[in-house]
Amino acid sequence: MAINYEEIMSMASENIEVSYTDKDSILYSLGVGLGNDPMNLDELKFVYENSQIALPSMATNFQYHSPLLLKTNINFIMVVHGEQRLSVTNPLPVSGDFITNAKVIGCYDKGPSKGAIIEVETTVNLKKDNTEICKLVSTTFARGDGGFGGPESPKKELVRPEGKPDYVHEINTKPDQALIFRLSGDYNPLHSDPNFAKSAGFERPILHGMCTYGIACRSIIESVCDKDVKKLKRFDCRFSSPVYPGETIVTEMWKDGNNVYYQCKVKERDKMVIKNGVSEII
């Protein structure tokens, strides 16, 4: 059954209560590979409750609590994460009680053989005083659901500075990386079940796009933010190809004022996996 444009554009979830603990923050950090070296004190602060801090990209976990698209009839075997945007208003706490509001803000038709693009915006506020923490926009590429007669997707052009990158940062993933990361809330079998992955067109389970996103966020924090998470205010990207657990993610960065443009490649295959990346730092 085709997407009903009017119906999907009216979808929203309001005042969803979400709570997490310092253990959840540690689990997320382990899921993006922090703490692999227990003697690295810069990484230890993410995975040890003594003076613990949270990686800003962990805010994407809030999207799992308002799964609007599960109420649609799109073909989830053919679904992949297309883009992710994060705007940070206040630093993400390592634990707390929150209120989230989510709504569909865009649904675009790329054609019968090219799929559909669906955008969901999630706003996160502290429950105790309604202080805004962040806004997220997640773009889903529904590869099997084009041709429903919706509007065309707008063209987005991002021009990064020319020349060699100002910073290059490598992070190794582990063969079990996806099995750890999924415990933060994304249990899609595409990342754990070999047979499901093959039915979706992949040779084996792939790493979560949100894990790749978190690893890229680590590279920005470590390379450009003086390892200070509070300096990151915006973190956007487009996912261009999957990563397989065990591969090395190389992040290339170009600094232009308060903006940092970035892209990520898999070292072993020289394959671009994140492009059109842009972050804002203070």
Q: Which helix (H) or strand (E) holds 247?
A: none
Question: Rounded distance, CA 60 to CA 54, Å?
Answer: 12
Instruction: Quick: pLDDT tens for 60-118.
Output: 999 988 778 777 878 877 878 899 999 999 999 999 999 999 999 999 999 888 899 99
pLDDT score, position 32: 98
Tokens, residue 219 = 């590279």
Q: Does the active-site annotation cover 209?
A: yes
Backbone φ, ψ for residue 158 (5° rounding): -125, 120
Listed in sequence order, the DSSP H helices in the chain are 5-9, 22-31, 41-47, 177-181, 194-199, 209-224
**Residue 1 pLDDT > 70, yes or no?**
no
Catalytic residue among 186, 221, 249, 277: 186
Catalytic residue among 115, 185, 209, 214: 209
More reliable by pLDDT, 145 or 235 = 235
**Residue 118 buriedness (CB in 10 A; 0-12 / 13-18 / 19+):** buried
Catalytic residue among 26, 171, 206, 249: 206
More reliable by pLDDT, 77 or 53 = 53
pLDDT score, position 95: 98
Angle at 152 between CA 146 and CA 155, to 5 degrees: 120
Share of the chain above pLDDT 70, in %: 100
Tokens, residue 228 = 């200070």
Angle at 196 between CA 190 and CA 199, to 5 degrees: 115
Our measurement of the distance from residue 213's CA atom to the centroid of its chain's CA atoms, rounded to an integer in Å, reads: 5
Instruction: Quick: pLDDT tens for 115-130.
Output: 999 999 999 999 999 9
Question: Rounded distance, CA 101 to CA 43, Å?
Answer: 32
Tokens, residue 107 = 């649904």
Cα four-point dihedral sign 13, 14, 16, 22: positive
What is the number of residues in the chain?
282
Tokens, residue 15 = 């005042």
Where do the domains of the chain lie?
5-281
Catalytic residue among 191, 208, 249, 281: 191
Residue labelled with tokens 């559909």:
116
Mean pLDDT of 133-145: 93
Instruction: Quick: pLDDT tens for 246-260.
Output: 999 999 999 999 999
Q: Does the active-site annotation cover 186?
A: yes
Tokens, residue 142 = 């529904």
Q: Does the active-site annotation cover 115?
A: no
Question: Rounded distance, CA 63 to CA 81, Å?
Answer: 12
CATH 3.10.129.10 fits 5-281, yes or no: yes
Tokens, residue 149 = 């007669």
Average pLDDT of the chain?
A: 94
**Residue 220 pLDDT > 70, yes or no?**
yes
pLDDT score, position 170: 98
